[in-house]
Structure 1
Amino acid sequence: MVMFRVKIKIAEWKLILLLSLFMSIVPNLAFWKNIYSLIPDASMSNLYFYFAMLIFTVCILNILLTLVLWKNTFIIPILLLLLSASFGYFSLSFNIYVDLHMLLNIMETNTGEAIALMTPYMIIWIVLVGILPSIFLLKITLIKRSLGTLLKIRIFIITSSIAVLLISSMPIYNYYASFFRNNNQIIKQLTPSNYIVAGVKYLNMRFERPVPYKQIGLDAKQIKPQNTEITHKPKLMIFVLGETSRAQNFSLNGYEKLTNPKLAVIENLINFEQASSCATATAISVPCMFSNLTREHYNPKIAKSEDNVLDILSRVGVSILWRENDEGCKGVCDNVLNEQIIHFTPESECPLGLCYDEHLLSNIEDFINKQTQDTLIVLHTNGSHGPSYYQRYPPSFPGQFKPACETNQIQSCDKESLINTYDNTILYVDTVLDKTIDLLLKQNRFVTSMLYLSDHGESLGENGLYLHAAPYMIAPKEQTHIPFMFWFSDSWVEQEQLDLACWQQMAKNRTVSHDNLFHSLLGLFRVQTEVLNQALDLSHTCLKS
């Protein structure tokens, strides 16, 4: 207890240097580890580059801390310590890169997902790397100096830091330029610069002048089939929006373990083997897939300020319902009927505030029975969201792969148990989709169909990466290769005159992506509008009439 009452007197230049060294090294262990792995050999020039990078980082932090640390006000340094400890933990544990997209994902994470990320390792790390250094900082009293002396010291620290930075860097400038040109994403693991830059971009995005809302597809109208020989029934489609499901672990795509036993025997199932996501995080992927903007031209600000495909479908008379069991619809469902299933699901079925996905179907027929027109229901699942994969399916769920990794500290699990647990989530997806199709087969008043599409994939330790949200430029296929499938009832096939053989051939050979969703939904509901791009409408290729 005496230790906490003791005040330590120290010159500010010493404190700044001490803090710079600590913050350059400890919270940035992932950065230094990855820098070292990218150096081809242990030659003197490469080791000098490594050492020069450390000097560069210390000098930059010296300058930053000189500007924000004044007298005995340590609020900003403490905030930097705590944030660096937090982001440093995730970079070290899961090889996470911090940029605007990652920050958007963090800002929109719900309580259940936040709790799922907390582990004893994380708490110990933040205490050791963030909280204890902050307490130590609060025990410090800077040696009193006049304002003139303080200014001289700060000018000296800044100028000497710049001088050392230039002297150490200039001899290997070409090496710097080449290395970071080829590995430019690694800088997103360097704290505090990564979250400071991301934070500035986030604030810019939040507070910049909003774009006036724009309605698109105002000319949209539904075109009824020309076939008059059959009685036309309204359409009912259930779109199951997957979460963090990667295509590699679907046996439908050739995976060696039978993770899709139920879907494998269902007729009229169309499985696109080569599908990619718009992004690697829900906050970007979900608005992007419903938007008219392609991945290449996607802009969150523009997407938020104009109609998405649900708005257009609703305007032409299609009944829309969005059911939520994840972290929100990201604005996509704001203009249509939407509901959270946690509000009508028993608490025992919703561990940590996220329900088992089969409950998305609970009482859904009550809504269906009230509909007389074409209807689209979107079920936003919790799917395979990590790191607590073992909580994404009921404990009694049959046919599980064992042994399983029943912890959120997935980096501590062996590869087999981790993959088994993730595969169990895919097995559960298989069951949920099978139950959805069973429900649709009972709807005699409609012609029915199902669409399943995941928002992004997941890394399970490949190349040291875990979870998702890696920058798209360097994202591995595990995070971008997604499942994408349709199922059509016989009545839908007959009424809409679908060429199933054509669909199957297209699914096997055609590369598709989230870019196809907007246009394919319009096409499947036979909506004609100037914003429909037939080249991206999957239904256009195989429609007989």
Structure 2
Amino acid sequence: MSASSLMPLVSALKMFQAAGNAGTAPRSSLSVFARLPAIGVERLGILASLFFSLACNHLFFSAALANRDWSQPASWFFAFAIFIAITALQSAGLFIVLNRWSAKPVLSVLFIVTAAATYYMNKYTVFFNTEMVRNILRTDVKEASELFSLNFCIYMFIYAALPILLVWKLRLKTMPLRRAIPVRLAYIVGAIVIAAGSTLLVFQDFSSLMRNQKEVRFLITPSNYLFSLTRVVAVDTAQANVPKIPISGDAKLGAAWGQRAKPMLFVLVVGETTRAANWGLNGYARQTTPELSKLDVVNFPHATSCGTNTEVSVPCMFSTYGRRNYDEKEIRAHESLLHIIDHVGLKTIWRDNQAGCKGVCDGLEEQRLDSSKNAALCDGERCFDEILLDNMDGEIHKAQNGNLFIVLHMLGNHGPSYFRRYPAAMRTFTPTCDTSDLSKCSQQEIVNAYDNGVLYTDHFLAKTISYLKTQTTYDTAMLYLSDHGESLGEHGIYLHGLPYSIAPKEQTEIPMVMWLSQGFASSFGLDKDCLSKRSRNPVSHDNLFHSILGMLQIESKHYDKTLDMSAGCRA
């Protein structure tokens, strides 16, 4: 934000101050606001909408008007037309909800939320679609607190506090109800007609924009988050207290289970925000996986995620739908892979160091370890991921028949506080970005901190494998995959969560690694050499559901052999 853009606001504030200091009348009569004519609620709505269009839609207009020839009058006409259309349409919405009692409180909330949304949109290129809004609503306080900074507070003061102050100082006109109703209806109809007319004047260009760049509508603020919030609330309300639709009824263990000599211990590690581009086993210039590189693991270098945020990816990867048949409502309404595993008698536990299982473990055992009191691994706010291995022996001994399927949900490399995701011993790449305000760091410092987090993920996975090797009375195995990737400044984009259709590969390409004990491979007839050879083939979150069923030889009508990574490698 340039100093020149603030000059009108500064000048206005100085004028108000000068007017308040002039004369000798009582203070109440000196207020410049008392001298201003009262303003109607409709005009206040128009002014608020103009403010939103001018101050809060930089990203939208940048995207909508990109690559236009500004020497052509048509470009200016298009820009003016969509500005008028958006302002009028948002005014119509305000006319519906504002009255002399609600105007000031409602606008205050809108100014606060819109300012916060705009700040993060401009800073990290955030699109407020339903996925992002759901992700925000599920964000815990500890995670949210890492996003606050001095720059955020300054931005909120200018774009929220000052507008709120002005609104509360204004006097609102009142009129009899019999006159207010037709006046309000006239404003609503007029705004809709203006919005429609402006759109029709540039309909060809506008329809092309909406058809070819559908995601751009999620940059129109505050309409974007209001629309998405409404959809999220509607879906969640409809599904509240409604039992999951069963998919596990027909599932049963295959014949191989009757011939096994040892119980099974399978650990599925769901990572967080680790991208394939910085994964050492994938050929990254830096060795960020030194411990895994020394172990007999199967690495999948061409793996992709279902989504670009946890709220999408975790439910999706455990569902029968996957990315190929993605349907958020159906995914959240049905049981997950874990319910099938638990149904056939394999004790299933979700151990979490982040923000929960996103519904995939509903009705199953869930252990939240992110607030543990282990002083060696926790600082009172966050725990390092090794907390997920704490007291594993106790959990194993609880399994009645010995068979156990454990999911470890990592905090991983969740940004922007990468520097807090690894212990001091892992601070290998320096200098690092040691603040959550990434704008204060160079891109190399950000990458260094991120890569140290990848090093710690490598260490955690190697330690998990080492632990499984000690469990000699079990056939053990581990599969790791990240929920999504991360942008570290490429193309000016940071963090994650862009709509999948326009997300860069840094947010969708993820690491995936498998380790099998010799006993596990033999018991389930898995050829590790075959798996290694086939690991070069493209895989995705869509393969998880079917590969786990196949590897564990669980029979189900939902199993799809074509999506089982191990299908051609079993005896």
Q: TM-score range by the shorter chain?
A: over 0.9
CA RMSD of aligned residues (A): 2.5
Which amino acid is 1:532 matched to? Y
Seen in structure 2, the aligned counterparts of structure 1 residues 212 and 311 have a Cα distance that, compared at 3 Å, is closer
**Shift, 1:72, TM fit:** 5.2
Moved more, 70-79 or 104-113: 70-79
1:81-92 paired onto structure 2 within 5 Å = 81-92=111-122
Query: Are the equivalent residues in 1 in contact too, given 2:524–2:553 (CA < 8 A)?
Result: no
Per the alignment, do residues 308 and 158 of structure 1 end up closer, same or farther by CA in structure 2, a change over 3 Å counting? Answer: closer
Q: C-alpha separation between the residues in 2 aligned to 1:226 and 1:181?
A: 53
Contact 1:341–1:360, Cα closer than 8 Å, also in 2: yes
Q: Report deviation, 1:328.
A: 0.5
Match of 1:365 in 2: 393
Is 2:130–2:231's contact at 8 Å kept on the other side of the alignment? yes
Structure 1 segments unaligned to the other structure (5+ residues): none
Partner secondary structure for residue 117 of structure 1: coil
Residue in 2 aligned with 1:261? 290
Matches within 5 A, 1:39-118: 39=68, 42-71=71-100, 73=102, 74-118=104-148
The answer to whether 1:521 aligns with 2:548 is yes
Match of 1:130 among 120, 135, 160: 160
Q: Deviations over 1:212-256 (max 9, x none)?
A: 54322323222243997xx72222111111011111110211211
Q: Give the Å deviation of 1:408.
A: 0.9
2:252 match: 221
Which of residues 330, 333, 340 is equivalent to 1:302? 330
- Contact preservation (8 Å) 1:317, 1:373: no
Tell me if structure 2 keeps the 8 A contact 1:72–1:142. no
- Asked whether the equivalents of residues 369 and 387 of structure 2 are also in contact (C-alpha less than 8 Å), the reply is yes
Instruction: Give the superposition deviation at 1:264.
Output: 1.2
Post-superposition CA distance 1:39-60 (Å, at most 9, x none): 3555322232122222222222
Aligned counterparts, 1:276-355, within 5 A = 276-346=304-374, 349-351=377-379, 353-355=381-383
Letter in 2 for 1:219: D
The aligned counterpart of 1:540 is 567
Offset at 1:453? 0.9
Distance in 1 between the 2:129 and 2:314 partners?
18
Q: 1:518 to 1:170 in 2, by over 3 A?
A: closer
CA contact (8 A) 1:345 1:359 kept: no
Give CA-to-partner distance per residue, 1:71-118, whole Å, 9 cap, x none: 354222222222211111111111000011111101111111111111
1:255 aligned counterpart, secondary structure: coil
- Structure 1 segment 424-439 matched on structure 2, within 5 A: 424-439=452-467
Quick one: structure 1 residues 156 and 128, their matched pair in 2 at CA, closer, same or farther if it must change by over 3 Å?
Answer: same
Distance in 2, matches of 1:84 and 1:42, equals 33
- Following the alignment from structure 1 to structure 2, what is the Cα–Cα distance between the partners of residues 168 and 497? 67
Aligned to 1:175: 205
Which one is further off, 430-439 or 309-318?
Answer: 309-318
Return the letter of the residue paired with 2:224: N
Structure 1 residues 531, 114: closer, same or farther in 2, change over 3 A?
Answer: same
Unaligned runs of 5+ in 2: 1-16, 22-26
Distance 1:310 1:114 in 2: 29
Distance 1:343 1:287, change over 3 A: same
Q: CA distance change for structure 1 residues 531 and 156 in 2, over 3 Å: closer, same or farther?
A: closer
Change beyond 3 A, Cα 1:16–1:306: closer
- SS of 1:448's equivalent? strand
Q: 1:108 to 1:38 in 2, by over 3 A?
A: farther
Matches within 5 A, 1:12-23: 12=40, 13-23=42-52
Higher RCO (CA-CA < 8 Å; seq separation 6+): 1
Q: CA deviation at 1:282?
A: 1.0
How far is the alpha carbon of 1:155 from its aligned partner?
A: 4.9
Tell me how far apart the structure 2 counterparts of residues 89 and 529 of structure 1 sit (CA, whole Å).
Answer: 48
> What pairs up with 1:391-406 in 2 under 5 angstroms?
391-394=420-423, 396-398=424-426, 400-406=428-434
In 2, are the aligned partners of 1:68 and 1:77 still within 8 Å (CA)?
Answer: no
- Is 2:439 the counterpart of 1:411? yes
SS of 1:294's equivalent in the other structure is coil
User: Hey, what does 1:142 align to over in structure 2?
Assistant: 172
> C-alpha deviations, 1:478-517, integer Å up to 9, x for none?
1111111101122323333322221112111x22111111
Q: 1:380 aligns with which of 409, 426, 444?
A: 409
CA-to-aligned-CA distance 1:237-291 (integer Å, 9 cap, x gap): 1111101111111021121111111111212x11111111111121121112112
Q: Distance in 2 between matches of 1:160 and 1:340?
A: 54
- What letter matches 1:27 in structure 2? C
Question: How do 1:453-532 residues align onto structure 2 when only pairs under 5 Å count?
Answer: 453-508=481-536, 510-532=537-559
Could you give the per-residue CA deviations for residues 128-147 of structure 1, whole angstroms, max 9, x where no partner exists?
A: 11122112111110234444
Classify the secondary structure of the residue corresponding to 2:204. Answer: helix
For the residue of structure 2 that corresponds to 1:376, the secondary structure is strand
C-alpha deviation, 1:169, in angstroms: 3.7
> Secondary structure at 1:295's aligned position in 2?
coil
The residue matched to 1:330 in structure 2 has which SS?
coil
SS in 1 for 2:324: helix
Separation (CA, whole Å) in 2 of partners of 1:41 and 1:420: 41
Is the CA contact (8 Å cut-off) linking 2:396 and 2:402 kept in structure 1? no
Conserved? CA contact 1:455–1:482, under 8 Å? yes
- Take 2:362 and 2:190, find their aligned partners in 1: how far apart are those partners? 54
SS at match of 1:240: strand
Question: Does structure 1 residue 246 correspond to structure 2 residue 275?
Answer: yes
Query: Would the aligned equivalents of 2:125 and 2:494 in 1 still touch at CA under 8 Å?
Result: yes
CA pair 68-536 structure 1, distance change in 2 beyond 3 A = same
**TM-aligned CA distance change 1:541 to 1:19, over 3 Å:** same
Deviations 1:8-32 (A, max 9, x none): 4433254333222211111222223
Structure 2: distance between partners of 1:321 and 1:162: 53
Question: Structure 1 87/344 Cα, relative in aligned 2: closer, same or farther at 3 Å?
Answer: closer
Q: Is the 8 A contact 1:241 1:379 kept in 2?
A: yes
Q: What is the DSSP-based 3-state SS (H/G/I as helix, E as strand, rest coil) of the residue aligned with 2:298?
A: strand
* Contact 2:64–2:209 (8 Å) recurs in 1: no
Distance 1:216 1:342 in 2: 30
**C-alpha distance 402-158 of structure 1, shift in aligned 2 (>3 A):** same
Q: Distance in 2 between matches of 1:162 and 1:496?
A: 65
What's the CA shift string for 1:314-355, capped at 9, x where partnerless?
222212221110001112223222211235432573346321
